[in-house]
Structure 1
């Protein structure tokens, strides 16, 4: 695990929390005892899907350092897991390694994933997902594959009919699965002669544990290059957060609580022109779990952009970056069909609505906090289910101007 150094500064209070390895304490006490952070089948699986999500995020983010990025990894994990149920043993092992399942040794993995999806999909958490495998109509599909996937995940893979009817059918199904929030998932039909295609979508609209008294006021957001844009911001004095400064990563990290054991982590670099790659490379399930136990409570004057936007991506080319180059060439989907077949597209769309809604913030007679957290320059963020540790969303906000759903 990466050693952490957190420095939380109040005026006049100074609080420092360092890991033993950095203060030299282990030299006196011997090797630090390893602490198992994930102790149940569900939390171990949640960590695996999170690490898959961080790897996929890095692959996507590396394509264009100047773009906003948003992913809902759990929905992608789900649809690739469905696909693995149709794979040979060799192909399944390849997929499991990319999905980070290979370390779990969970004989009930599919049941554990189903339970995780159920727990993260409860109404209060604000997340809804849709994941499905679509098969070419030319394929002679084995009924057992369809039956197993439907039995496990409640939705059977579907064979395509071709043309505009498929487009409407897929868009309607995604819309229904996300409460009408993800519209126009596809704008054109799947390419002809693609054997297997996957669809994964998600909508997130969480509510704050403590709402904001001020919202949508236009404030300046710094853009790399010395320019600024005016964007809607949420603001609240004396807002409770957990916070720290990581000197190695040169950033402030804040954890802001949402309802139903969901929280958002914000990673705010010290410098507007900072390269976010170092921050992105640090993200792992273990690192974030350690953060949740290490960040310190504080009350701050908080200013946060309104994040309401959508992101659509074709993820199939990124799978090679996750170690699936050979699998893409020879996917071994013999339990789906005896015919040779390859993966055509991995379509993914996320809609996020992060607005001021939440419990009414209790009025305070205290003077405004002297500690301020202004999220007014490019930053990373992630939304996490604290009860399981599952990564719900991960993203990068470079320019919040003109965001659209």
Structure 2
């Protein structure tokens, strides 16, 4: 038997995009979970989506600049895109249109069904087990036990977005918070505790989205060559000291004279790469304004491999965002209003989106995104090199992108203004 809330009582949906790039224990892909994904999917929509998702990522990044000027920025674009696409499953009319158009899709060129299928292929490809790369995107949907979710919606979120669905009693706020937080803590191997703190009894649905990423550099740094206390220029008057990793190695790199920046590609051992973008002094805003999917394609075409003398800080970066205001400014308005149209979720009326939260963390060290000992890695003494190589030194604010190769997805995007800020 289901209890239906009075139509005048506000019913809130919460989106919580929980994003992790932590030093977690390995996640075993698909273990103990029912999944419809058996092999990576490749189709034309997936490749078209990579450009659309990239442009959404940079548009969202520019919103974060306005919200948090002169601060570190870090988030997972692909995670936010997937969660919003999942929200659109239950939305109709202008509510759905606003969500998908804010993501960058032209619904005349790309029908809704094709978009949803594209995200299914994307999530399947990202979650498919890969050697030497731990990458797992997950979703969990907590639905108030008094609601009657539609069978089609439950089938779609499981098949398209590999989402676990749980029934929960939101009227018991403390118990509901504990249940959700316990699930998050378990999925993140204890690295995120107490995520939900201020739950409202009127909440009827919460979506938790997370992405776990851990990989080793193709060319790990020798810890003995890391220079402690190196200078890093935060702004014209502020200097901090950080451990600076050092390596003489061959990397793909370029100098973009049009955007006045240096681009360095650091490959992970498998299926992923990081782009470090160092604008010339005073040119950060120029580079930020020009970033787009076309920029990435240009860099991919122009990058050339060569010896460089490289200096990269060892750092951790994290950020938390309340996305409600930003999503409103990006055009997702009806979802937050009383006229929100979410009939695809349940037989109940009056659902609307209350808020969306996002948290991300990443650690960059000598071995990769995790500063742990790796068996079998040996560092040989380098002979003295008399040839002079270009020096690339990330000793001031720079941009950081982490991409998955097979889907061309931006897993993480950020700006390091102060590498000592945690």
Q: Is the 8 A contact 1:251 1:270 kept in 2?
A: yes
Question: 2:236 maps to what in 1?
Answer: 225
Quick check: 1:284 aligned with 2:288? no
Q: Give the match for residue 207 of structure 2.
A: 198
Cα 1:346–1:134 change in 2 (3 A) is farther
- Following the alignment from structure 1 to structure 2, what is the Cα–Cα distance between the partners of residues 275 and 371? 21
Match of 2:220 in 1: 211
Aligned to 1:113: 119
Q: Does the CA-based 8 Å contact 2:310-2:392 persist in structure 1?
A: yes
8 Å CA contact 1:164, 1:189 repeated in 2: no
1:262 positional shift:
1.2
Kindly state the Cα deviation for residue 399 of structure 1 after the two structures are TM-superposed.
0.4
Question: Is residue 413 of structure 2 the alignment partner of residue 394 of structure 1?
Answer: yes
Taking the aligned partners of 1:217 and 1:158, their CA distance within structure 2 comes to 48
Question: Gaps (5+ residues) in structure 2?
Answer: 1-41, 369-376
* Shift in Å, 1:287: 1.6
Secondary structure, counterpart of 2:163 in structure 1:
coil
Match status 1:75 vs 2:94: no
CA distance in 1, matches of 2:72, 2:150: 41
Q: How far apart are the structure 2 equivalents of 1:369 and 1:119?
A: 42
Distance change (3 Å), C-alpha of 1:280 and 1:324: same
Aligned to 2:38: none
Partner of 2:180: 170
Q: Deviations over 1:125-157 (max 9, x none)?
A: 343333344445554433432232123223244
Please report how far the alpha carbon of residue 220 of structure 1 lies from its aligned counterpart in structure 2 after TM superposition: 0.9
Greater RCO (CA < 8 Å, at least 6 residues apart): 2
Q: Contact 1:384/1:391 (CA < 8 Å) preserved in 2? A: yes
Q: After TM superposition, give the deviation of residue 333 of structure 1 in Å.
A: 0.6
Range with greater deviation from structure 2 (86-95 or 103-112): 103-112
Alpha carbons of structure 1 residues 39 and 115: separation in structure 2 relative to 1, 3 Å: closer
Contact 2:74 2:317 in 1 (8 A): no
TM-score normalised according to structure 1 size = 0.81
Aligned equivalent of 1:53: 57
Partners in 1 of 2:87 and 2:329 — Cα distance?
A: 19
Question: Deviation string for 1:43-90 (max 9, x for gaps)?
Answer: 222222222222222212221211111111111122211111101143
Q: Aligned ranges for residues 68-147 of structure 1 at < 5 Å?
A: 68-102=72-106, 103-105=109-111, 107-121=113-127, 122-123=129-130, 124-136=132-144, 139-147=147-155
Of 28, 32, 40, the match for 2:44: 40
Residues 50 and 408 in structure 2, CA contact (< 8 A), matched pair in contact too: yes
The alpha carbon displacement at 1:343 in A equals: 0.5
Aligned residues: 362
Q: Secondary structure at the match of 1:345?
A: strand
Q: Which residue of 2 aligns with 1:19?
A: none
Cα distance in 2 for partners of 1:125, 1:52 equals 25
The verdict on how the C-alpha distance between 1:320 and 1:369 changes in structure 2, with shifts beyond 3 A counting, is farther
Contact 2:139 2:164 in 1 (8 A): no
Residue 373 (str. 1) matches residue 392 (str. 2): yes
1:230: how far off?
0.8
Instruction: Describe the shift of the 1:380–1:374 C-alpha distance in structure 2 as closer, same or farther (beyond 3 A).
Output: same
Q: Deviations over 1:268-309 (max 9, x none)?
A: 1211xx263332222222221221121222211111112323
CA distances 1:289-334 after superposition (whole Å, capped 9, x unpaired): 2211212222111111123233222212110222223443233111
Rounded Cα–Cα distance in structure 2 between residues aligned with 1:353 and 1:315: 23
Q: Quick one: structure 1 residues 201 and 326, their matched pair in 2 at CA, closer, same or farther if it must change by over 3 Å? A: same
Secondary structure of the structure 2 residue equivalent to 1:376: coil
CA RMSD of aligned residues (A): 2.6
C-alpha displacement of 1:247: 2.7
